[in-house]
Structure 1
Amino acid sequence: MSTRNSVWSPPWLTTTGFLDEVLRKHHFRYSSNLDLYLLPGDTPHNMAVRTVARASREFQDVGLSVAADPRIMLPPPIPTPDGVPVRQALPGQSLTALTGELHELRRSADVADVLEQILNEHHGVVGDLEEFIDTAAAWCDRLGTANGRELGQHLRTIAHHIAFLGDQLVTAQLDLAVMPDVTPDDAPPLSEVPLLTRHEIPSVTHTARSRAALASSPNRPAAQSTSPDEAARSPTPSPSPRRTR
């Protein structure tokens, strides 16, 4: 299957009322010329992916096997003005997949590597979210109305908050990268550790930051020893700018 012309074509398809009913319910239409079921050619990429996923789930729920072309997860490139290089879409993992990956990790440095994937300047989800909101703000500006301009400004304020969030996550990622800690073998599975409500989550203490700054890691060899008092007096360097948007 592809998202633009999503396809089902087993030889018994046209004789099976259930499959025909499901596909038509999800807006597939049978092409007698191709002997295939297709989605309309103007179906947006994301909608096509969701449609294929919903139809596949219905088939799987009744015990049928479904195969899909993995290329359906690769979205089309984002339109750009003339003279501006097109940023090609890259296949990536969803936040759900990355969250699931955390359950298998034991080393702090490995968690930092996963966090780096959502902070990547070119295709990380934080930067993509910031760009999405900026684009939505530009869409509002095109309305040419006072309400549109006001909403566009509000969206840009939200984008600034996302940028600030990204900076805070970079700091956390750097702290994780230098921590040598490893989850003990007898630690409970992450799925069994209760998540605190947000107002109960304690802030990171200065002692914890100092310990992380002093620790060695596979990514950064141990330097000459520094006393905790000296570390406490040393200002924490702010992360360098990482956005070019």
Structure 2
Amino acid sequence: MSLQLEPDVAFGMHPDFGVAAAVSDNRPFLDGVLRKHHFRYSEYLDVYLLPDDTPHNTAVRTVASATREFQDAGLSVAADPRIVIPPPVPTPVGVQARPTRPGLSLTALTGELHELRRAVDVSEVLGEILDEHHGVLLDLEEFVDTAAAWCERLYTPNGRELGLHLRSIAHHVAFLGDQLVGAQIELSVMPDATPENAPPLADVPLPERQEWLRVTHTARARAAVASSPNRPTSAPKSESEAAVPRPQSASATPSRTL
């Protein structure tokens, strides 16, 4: 068997320009696929680059999609693992930023459950979701809190209202984390294991979820009159409304409650 030492396409991280792609030759197919995925050729660097403002998650999906297309065509692809490491979240001056790590995939963790047979192993997988350094639940709480701070920074009554609503949701996420910690502890001490003759997990029907929260008429009405790019928010109609004092901007860094 012959090994190809040089890949047809290589993806990596440029220190100044972000995600880059290099090709082994100037085949039109390679150029066409990269351009279809929004890469643009830089004559100065002799590599393909994504636009500077491409969000991290979009860049990761773009590299994955282009890689699949190249591999489906029988081409070899190499990728720098640093592509999947997200940039640090901005923090206030004097606050140490959280270390950046590759994110966990809930889909992958759900897939792992299908292969596990012991309760203690399920507990370990659940612990990955709850991990204080790279658990997805803490990331979700931080995301919702940051979204709340974004809404409050609008300095409008609707923004403040939605910010409070989002902070309430963040508390619910924290409460969910507390409940999952309890379930994880119970799983860790359970001696039970799945019987050998048990059906595959994929064949066990999932319980139907009851629709607990219904959209109210007030929520529908609010959504109907909400501003959008096609219908910008109008200026305040009264002097009293215009004189509403602006609150202090909230910190986007949430307190950890788990």
Instruction: Identify whether the pair has TM-score above 0.5, normalized to the shorter chain.
Output: yes
**Gaps (5+ residues) in structure 1?**
200-241
- The 1:65/1:192 distance shift into structure 2, 3 A limit, reads farther
Higher relative contact order (CA 8 A, sep 6+): 2
**Partner residue of 1:99 out of 102, 106, 110:** 110
Residues 130-164 of structure 1: per-residue CA shift (max 9 Å, x gap): 11000000011111111111111111111111111
More helix by share: 1
**For 1:90-122, what per-residue CA distance to the aligned partner results, in whole angstroms no more than 9, with x for missing partners?**
234311111111122111011001101111223
Distance in 2 separating the partners of 1:133 and 1:243:
13
Does structure 1 residue 174 correspond to structure 2 residue 160? no
Match of 2:69 among 42, 49, 58: 58
- 2:122: which partner in 1? 111
Task: Give the equivalent residue in structure 1 for 2:19.
Answer: 6
Compare the two structures and name the one with the higher strand fraction.
2
Could you state the TM-score of these two structures normalised by the residue count of structure 2? 0.72
Aligned mates of 2:68, 2:191 — CA distance in 1: 42
TM-score, structure 1 as length reference:
0.75
Q: Which secondary structure state, in structure 2, belongs to the residue aligned with residue 24 of structure 1?
A: helix
- After TM superposition, list the pairs within 5 Å mapping 1:53-202 onto structure 2: 53-199=64-210
Identical-pair percentage? 68
Return the match for 1:32 from 43, 55, 62.
Answer: 43
Answering whether residue 54 of structure 2 is matched by residue 43 of structure 1, we say yes
State the AA in 2 paired with 1:179.
M
Give the paired residue count.
Answer: 201
- The one-letter amino acid paired with 1:87 is R
- The CA RMSD measured in Å over matched residues stands at 2.0
Q: Is the 8 A contact 1:78 1:88 kept in 2?
A: no
Specify every segment of 5 or more residues in structure 2 that has no aligned partner in the other structure, as ranges.
1-10, 211-254
Worse-superposed segment, 61-70 or 123-132: 61-70
